[in-house]
Structure 1
Amino acid sequence: MTATRLQLPQQKKQRYWLKAFLLGVSVSFLFFLPFLLYDNGLFLYYGDFNVQQISFYQMIHDSILNGNIGWSHTTDLGANMVGSYSFYLLGSPFFWLTLPFPSEAVPYLMAPLLILKTGCAALTAYIYLRRYVHNKNIAVIGAMLYAFSGFATYNIFFNHFHEAMVMFPLLLAAVDEYMETHRRGVLAMAVFGACLVNYYFFVGMAIFIVIYWFVRMFANSYKIKLKDFLILVFEVVLGFLGTAVLLIPSVLVVSQNNRVGNTLNGWAGLVYNNPQRYVHILESFFFPPDIPAYPNFTPDSNAKWGSVAGWLPVFSMTGVIAFMQTKNRKHWLKKLLPMLFLIAFVPILNSVFQLFNSQYYARWFYMLILMMCLTTVKSLEDIKVDWKRAVLWSTGITVAIAVGIGFMPNQKTDDAGVTTTSYGVMSYAGTFWAYVLIALISLGILILLLRLLKKDRKKFVKASICCICAVTVVYAVCFIALGKMRGYNSHDYLIPHVINQEDKINLPETDNVRSDFYGCMDNSAMFWQLPSIQAFHSIVPESIMEFYPTIGVQRDVGSRPEVSVYGLRSFTSTRWLFDYTGDSNSFVETDGKNKMPGWTLYDTQNDFNIYENQSYIPMGFTYDSYISEDDYNSCLESRRHLLLLKAMVLSDEQMEKYSDITQGKTDDFKSFVYTENEYYNDCQARKQLTCSSFAYDNDGFSAEITTDNTGDRLVFFSVPYEDGWSAQVNGEDVDIERVNVGFMAVRVPANTTSEIRFNYKTPGLTAGIIITVSCILIFASYMWIWGLRKNKEIKARKKTYRIGNRQTVSTIKAAEQDMDMIKAVNQEDKGNLDKNSTGDSDDEITRTPM
């Protein structure tokens, strides 16, 4: 008897994953398009985006193409490139896509990369959400809500945050995949990718995953045997260690940052110091986000850059409220979501996602938002959901917040004692009411969509996607436009004078001296890739963080020394100063004097007045006097920038080590005079014996100095001290001394010309490479062994299939094909449910093709 295989009708498969990706790309293109047209193909925003994201991308792009991956002498006074830029871009695959393009094209790639990131966020969100719904179009809706959430739009300002939004759904999907199928390798790769892309966000992801996993375990949604649990731990550790190539250098730098050790304590860990922050957190889930740095709903919430944004376009919190009101109290999401919202409102719990740092951020909200999207799509598939009640709650809270903030009486008394009463406690009334209008119109649209949901599910899906697209474009355009109004005028300043305009500057020497920028946009020097004392960068060497406060300069997220510390300029070999002529900030006082002594106008180029420091000291100079660290600390803080031009600061051990050079010259500091004339004299004295040549290169820098017969000297370089430096003088290794509160010096012999060479190797990079390569080899072996075992099991199963008693045949392949066809039909049936079908379930994960 001949067996006939059942022929099933072929049905067209929809590529829902592609649909989610293309929707993410196309909609984001639409809301970026007006601004691309306005700025001639560039996307220029304001704040951090303009001054950090664009300049960092272009500068590091050029450094890598030039073969420099070690020391960046154009970052502040100098910085470890891997440690300083792994947080911003080095782990991002989107950054590496810029390398085939020329330097001039990089600023033009910022918007296309953001568009691509948005599409990828929608794609990865779909990959996660599709497991929990029968109708995959509903998962597409959830993916759009995630990709176009308030958090995503808010963090256009922080370009590198979107990588975390892309990776997190993949990490969750990998956890689900392992817990369901015990499939090998997927979890290790997901952990590797998430940590490599951004170690800071990975910390938050890891903590969230632990909470997520335990909640599901206690809710009996996950089950696992000890053997499988040990394999899970192995894959997580393997994936994590695989990122050592970036992780170790980054940790070594970040652990030295003085911002890391600030933790919450006392009542500050239990209650926010700013009461408005509670309202800010609450309203962020019901309204489009305020733009960074300009909070509108809650002006005094002190969360200007906190990424407090959680609004879902059209749906707002309605889907979440609807899900929480269903009767299935045992569902793991009903345990997880309240826990996450509680975390958001308790300072010490909120800080756990950044290892208890005291600085307030809600940068983990994208993870909460994905859970909100999941509850929303599950609500859409459940016919038992009471949407009317959910809409009433969502609308009521929205209106209550709008009325409370918009109409609250606000009395103010001026200096003359006159009291006036206004209504509304927001900062910008026009913007506030525009946001209220968007939120209420969205809820009105949702009411109409929910009526359609009951009548025709297919039309509901199409209408929902269209409405989400429309609302997203409107609110995103408004959001970006509000931000652009706060930034530098792109057509008056950025485009004609800054971006790709370095060729308009023609000076005798710029690469091996430092420059200063007076009253200019942050990181202007980085756009032209000039060494500078001005920098807006959070992750720099410890020695910079240690040095600046000693001379009265605040160093938190940037180096912005005031003109009052004019001695710093000569101390750091700053030769040029740029003063933009198109603004009101002038380097010249009203009486015609310059704001720092010793500077003269050299030329006007590119609409910048360029001043030259007549007291400029070349890199690599020597001292005749030496003081101890205690003596330095005893000097008035306001005078220390001048003291550093008089004497080298050494530790007691160094004083003893170099006693033949210092010769006890430590008592003169009490007689030092700090006047403008003395400043000129000190600079001239330092110029008497300096390096005749100095040049940076990819491995460090070289210098040459000719000493006199008065004795050996310590040659000082205003380059930040780090453990990765090594030095040679005339080809022989020498000790590098940490002097002048964080900089470097080496000993050179008397009465000779010495070749000085400093080489830099990124601390931890070699060990990181070894660990990463080892993990890759272990992973490959692990997958190979698992593959062999799997093939062996398949072959064993094939032998059990026999037809009659005559022969053994390999029918397992056909059986597998049949099962695949049956599964496909089942999935098509689920995807083509009757318009009133519910998809009401399900704690169990349903694996379906994309």
Structure 2
Amino acid sequence: MDTSKSYVRDGRIQQKPRGNYFLFSFLFGLALAFVIFVPFMIVDGGRFLFYGDFNVQQVPFYRIAHDAIRSGNIGWNHLTDLGVNFIGSYSFYLLGSPFFWLTIPFPGEWLQYLMGPLFILKFGCASLSGYIYLHRYAKNPNTALLASLLYAFSGYSIYNIFFNHFHEAIIVFPLLLAALDEYMYTKRRGIFALMVAAACIVNYYFFVGMVTFTVIYFFVRLLSGSWHITVKDFLLLALEAVLGLGIACILLVPSVLCIIQNYRVSNPISGWSALLYDRNQRYIHILQCLFFPPDLPARPNFTPDSESKWASLGAWLPMFSMAGVIGWMQLKRRHWLKKMLCVLLFMAFIPGLNALFQLMNASYYARWFYMLTLMMAAATMMALENPRVDWRRSLKWTTLITLAMTLVIGLMPTLTKTDGEITDVTFGLEKYPTRFWTYAAIALLSLALVGFVLAFYNRGSRPFYRAASVCLSITIVLYSVFFIALGKTQSDYTYDHIIPYALNGGADVAIDDLRDDNVRTDFYESLDNSAMFWEVQSIQAFHSIVPGSLMEFYDSIGVQRDVASRPDTTHYGLRGLTSVKYLFDDDHDTEYFAGEDYADPAMPGWMYYGNTNGFDIWENEHYIPMGFTYDSYVTEKDYENTSESYRELLMLKGIVLTDKQVSKWGDMLSPLDTSELSYTKETYKTDCENRAKLTCDTFEYTNTGFNATITASRDVPVFFSIPYENGWSAYVNGEKVDIEKVNVGFMAIRVNAGTNVKIEFKYRTPGLFLGMAITVVCVLLFALYMVLMRTIFKEVPVPLARHNMVLRPLSHYAKKHGAHFENSGIIHVKPRSQTDRALEKKEGFDNDD
């Protein structure tokens, strides 16, 4: 290395950058993403559409949240399922994303055209953040640039195009580590606290994994001797972590209070499940994702029975695969990164350790693998800069492993026996052969490209970096385009339904009261979240985070409610209970709601309305407006003794109350004898008619809840099929009244007899004001902390003029290495002796690493 073009940073000799590599890394990533996404955007008329969750969650969620914020309705969102806590339900998906907030100035109609540009921007930012972390450990900025592209366009990143909101975590994670490094190397205060806050705000789920990783990273480096820290500095670092967490509480507290109601979080891993995966194919899947481009989500190919759909199993580094990692690991020396990689790979294969990245939840996910890919990219970068790495050997090992997996999975015979005799022999364990051999070809051809690039290999040489950059760029573009194109083939709805009928917002549906607040809809065997595209209320919803009371209700009537509400037509009583008036049946499939001749509706009481906007429309003759009343009650005990298949029908006969509520409301209701009740389609019609006799005269949602009016000649309970939550408060004619949780998960209040009685429900997001208070306090404490650090303790980093980089005092290196430096701020270091190298290695600053 030419020392005339070098400087020392954190004890390492690094090459002076020519130009702004921070900007260059961003623009390089941006350009590659532009080439990848723009062709698909052109085909889709300026939009970027993929398949599965991206189409039916990310796109409509952005529109729902965008319009809610622009209208100031950030409390209760009635357009999601039967109603949800807006902040608690959408903070996981997008509320903490700065990219989402970039859309707020634009009209809602533009959202479908902004998804592609936002993705391009995200990949550019991921490349930049990767470079910010990696360049500290690179001797040549070009090597760090290559590594940042490996990270930004890794198999994990491309796989999770399917999950648009995962990329925020990919971007912020390197910044969190870079902030920790800055603290440890230069004692620069405050940055770590801000990055902790940013990581937590962006996504609380991924923040859990980042905390786990950062703790491991900290102690591995500490125990490896590459870091040293005093007790005072350790306590100050812990204080910054706490302050950062506190700053994020404005979003964290309401999110936590919402998510703890979800049944999925109370599923801890234990027993043998914490030691061994119950699916042996999963071990192969984990290994495969390191050496091959990623499978499509929901379409596992190499290991079709690994039960790892949507698990985000992707870690392939474009072109280089595991060659650089294996080369780095083969070095016979100690280094913190080798230990870190060993720990992470070991954790990936042990279920209980893997679960540490998601609070020990038993559901299998590998959604922390972006952290692993960053370490793998760092290892590849260091391998390229270390003359002792035997690239020929590492490339040979990588090729042999890749080829072995290809041949074993692609050609393994499977015997079919009938009555003990072999009747058929098939070859290959994969599910989609053509796709499998394409993946294998990409992986093997990439390794051939590595061999080609290494022909130019000479550390620091321009021909090598040019060849590597060109070949890596080609690999990234081709494999990414193939992945996206393959995914788009899985969505036959894009051009014949989503674009013409979903993204038009239902503009052609001419139903006057479709968007009335007291009207809900049902979508039969249709695209998930169809109602969200139109921004109308519906009982069908594909959304993971909903009120616990809603999940409790569905569980009580035998409807599975995990990631979606999809009650089938056997639960026809549910439609009357939840004020469903219209049903939309997609006319592009063969799943007919009433048969091909429209003569036999799957539920009673539905009348054909017409066809428009790609749907056959049906109207519910047994519709009950929102806010209806009861004459009778059923105790919870009698309810639980009733068959699940009849329970929603029972709720139309009498309101389900606890014993305490019976004593409170018994004066205006009569008890029902459940042993004498009949549950037929005829009695269902009668019960709906009885409930519709006395309902609210008006009902409308507001930015703070909803309002209604009712006229009643006697005292009545008024029932609203809106999920119960602690944030609700109710007022009748201006006086506060108690809200009762009835019918398992919904709300009702007592209304005394009167004309035009005014009912007002107000909603305040639970934990929002507490979170805001904690955030304000922690921001003030953080400001005080920064003042103290710069005044009382007077601990300020020593800057180097060049690029505002923070270094150890220059005298430290002048004394140790006989350095001299010029006015430019560049340190010139004399060639190191063996004694110098031994001293650096002892201190953890060996330049070869």
Q: TM (normalized to structure 1)?
A: 0.92
Q: SS where residue 791 of structure 2 aligns?
A: helix
- Give CA-to-partner distance per residue, 1:743-789, whole Å, 9 cap, x none: 00000002443111000000000111111111112212222333334
Q: SS where residue 733 of structure 1 aligns?
A: strand
- Greater CA deviation, 781-790 or 131-140? 781-790
Query: What's the counterpart of residue 738 of structure 1?
Result: 741
Q: How does 1:325-364 map to 2 (within 5 A)?
A: 325-328=330-333, 330-364=334-368
Q: SS where residue 251 of structure 1 aligns?
A: helix
Query: What's the counterpart of residue 61 of structure 1?
Result: 66
Residue 766 (1) aligns with residue 769 (2)? yes
Residue 372 (1) aligns with residue 376 (2)? yes
Residue 522 (1) aligns with residue 525 (2)? no
Offset at residue 824 of structure 1 (A): 4.5
Residue type of the partner of 1:451? Answer: A
Query: What's the counterpart of residue 11 of structure 2?
Result: none
Q: How does 1:37-436 map to 2 (within 5 A)?
A: 37-328=42-333, 330-412=334-416, 419-436=423-440
Change in CA separation of 1:309 and 1:639 when aligned onto 2, cut-off 3 Å: same
Offset at residue 669 of structure 1 (A): 1.8
Residue 700 (1) aligns with residue 705 (2)? yes
Q: How does 1:469-508 map to 2 (within 5 A)?
A: 469-508=473-512
Q: Distance in 1 between matches of 2:51 and 2:395?
A: 36
Q: Distance in 2 between matches of 1:70 and 1:118?
A: 32
Residue 825 (1) aligns with residue 823 (2)? no
- Greater CA deviation, 333-342 or 316-325? 333-342
CA contact (8 A) 2:169 2:202 kept: yes
Offset at residue 822 of structure 1 (A): 5.7
Offset at residue 454 of structure 1 (A): 3.4
Q: Distance in 1 between matches of 2:442 and 2:829?
A: 37
Query: What's the counterpart of residue 580 of structure 1?
Result: 586
Offset at residue 461 of structure 1 (A): 1.1
Q: Distance in 2 between matches of 1:842 and 1:483?
A: 51
- Give CA-to-partner distance per residue, 1:184-214, whole Å, 9 cap, x none: 1110011010001000000000010000101
Residue type of the partner of 2:550? Answer: I
CA contact (8 A) 2:156 2:314 kept: yes
Q: Distance in 1 between matches of 2:609 and 2:828?
A: 75
Residue 749 (1) aligns with residue 752 (2)? yes
- Greater CA deviation, 508-517 or 268-277? 508-517
Q: Distance in 2 between matches of 1:820 and 1:128?
A: 26
Q: How does 1:809-824 map to 2 (within 5 A)?
A: 824=825
Residue type of the partner of 1:390? Answer: S
Offset at residue 720 of structure 1 (A): 0.2
Change in CA separation of 1:792 and 1:103 when aligned onto 2, cut-off 3 Å: closer
Q: Distance in 2 between matches of 1:340 and 1:750?
A: 67
CA contact (8 A) 2:154 2:316 kept: yes
- Give CA-to-partner distance per residue, 1:128-149, whole Å, 9 cap, x none: 0011111011000000000010
Offset at residue 508 of structure 1 (A): 2.0
Offset at residue 416 of structure 1 (A): 13
Q: Distance in 2 between matches of 1:43 and 1:123?
A: 23
Change in CA separation of 1:455 and 1:159 when aligned onto 2, cut-off 3 Å: closer
Query: What's the counterpart of residue 35 of structure 2?
Result: 30
Q: Percent identity?
A: 52
- Greater CA deviation, 460-469 or 160-169? 460-469
Offset at residue 339 of structure 1 (A): 1.0
Query: What's the counterpart of residue 3 of structure 1?
Result: none
Offset at residue 394 of structure 1 (A): 0.4
Query: What's the counterpart of residue 565 of structure 2?
Result: 559
Equivalent position to 1:640, from 637, 647, 665: 647
CA contact (8 A) 1:132 1:845 kept: no
Query: What's the counterpart of residue 786 of structure 2?
Result: 783
- Greater CA deviation, 348-357 or 453-462? 453-462
Q: Distance in 2 between matches of 1:776 and 1:109?
A: 33
- Give CA-to-partner distance per residue, 1:382-431, whole Å, 9 cap, x none: 01111111011101100010000000001235899982211101000000
Equivalent position to 1:622, from 623, 629, 650: 629
Q: Distance in 2 between matches of 1:563 and 1:489?
A: 23
Residue type of the partner of 2:630? Answer: Y
Q: SS where residue 284 of structure 1 aligns?
A: helix
Offset at residue 20 of structure 1 (A): 1.0
Change in CA separation of 1:232 and 1:456 when aligned onto 2, cut-off 3 Å: closer
Residue 684 (1) aligns with residue 689 (2)? yes
CA contact (8 A) 1:488 1:494 kept: no
Residue type of the partner of 1:785? Answer: L
Change in CA separation of 1:582 and 1:418 when aligned onto 2, cut-off 3 Å: farther
Query: What's the counterpart of residue 801 of structure 1?
Result: none
Q: Distance in 1 between matches of 2:820 and 2:692?
A: 84
Q: SS where residue 172 of structure 1 aligns?
A: helix
Q: SS where residue 290 of structure 2 aligns?
A: coil
Gaps of 5+ in 2: 1-5, 8-15, 799-810, 832-839
Change in CA separation of 1:448 and 1:292 when aligned onto 2, cut-off 3 Å: same
Q: SS where residue 701 of structure 1 aligns?
A: strand
CA contact (8 A) 2:17 2:141 kept: no
Q: SS where residue 628 of structure 2 aligns?
A: coil
Q: How does 1:452-467 map to 2 (within 5 A)?
A: 452-454=456-458, 457-467=461-471
Offset at residue 659 of structure 1 (A): 2.0
CA contact (8 A) 1:552 1:638 kept: yes
Query: What's the counterpart of residue 5 of structure 1?
Result: none
Query: What's the counterpart of residue 804 of structure 2?
Result: none
Residue type of the partner of 1:309? Answer: G
Q: Distance in 2 between matches of 1:292 and 1:842?
A: 46
Residue type of the partner of 2:105? Answer: P
Offset at residue 468 of structure 1 (A): 1.1
Offset at residue 289 of structure 1 (A): 0.3
Q: SS where residue 629 of structure 2 aligns?
A: coil
Q: SS where residue 264 of structure 2 aligns?
A: coil
CA contact (8 A) 2:226 2:845 kept: no
- Greater CA deviation, 481-490 or 135-144? 481-490
Q: Distance in 2 between matches of 1:438 and 1:794?
A: 47
Offset at residue 60 of structure 1 (A): 0.4
CA contact (8 A) 1:83 1:251 kept: yes
- Give CA-to-partner distance per residue, 1:606-650, whole Å, 9 cap, x none: 121111111000000011110111111110111112111111000
Query: What's the counterpart of residue 4 of structure 1?
Result: none
Q: Distance in 2 between matches of 1:12 and 1:352?
A: 39
- Give CA-to-partner distance per residue, 1:257-286, whole Å, 9 cap, x none: 000011222211111111000000001000
CA contact (8 A) 1:132 1:842 kept: no
- Greater CA deviation, 693-702 or 486-495? 486-495
CA contact (8 A) 2:325 2:379 kept: yes
Query: What's the counterpart of residue 601 of structure 2?
Result: 594
Offset at residue 502 of structure 1 (A): 2.7
Change in CA separation of 1:674 and 1:153 when aligned onto 2, cut-off 3 Å: same
Q: Distance in 1 between matches of 2:432 and 2:42?
A: 28
CA contact (8 A) 2:187 2:797 kept: no
CA contact (8 A) 2:324 2:381 kept: yes
Gaps of 5+ in 1: 1-7, 796-811, 831-839
Offset at residue 826 of structure 1 (A): 3.8
Equivalent position to 1:650, from 645, 657, 670: 657
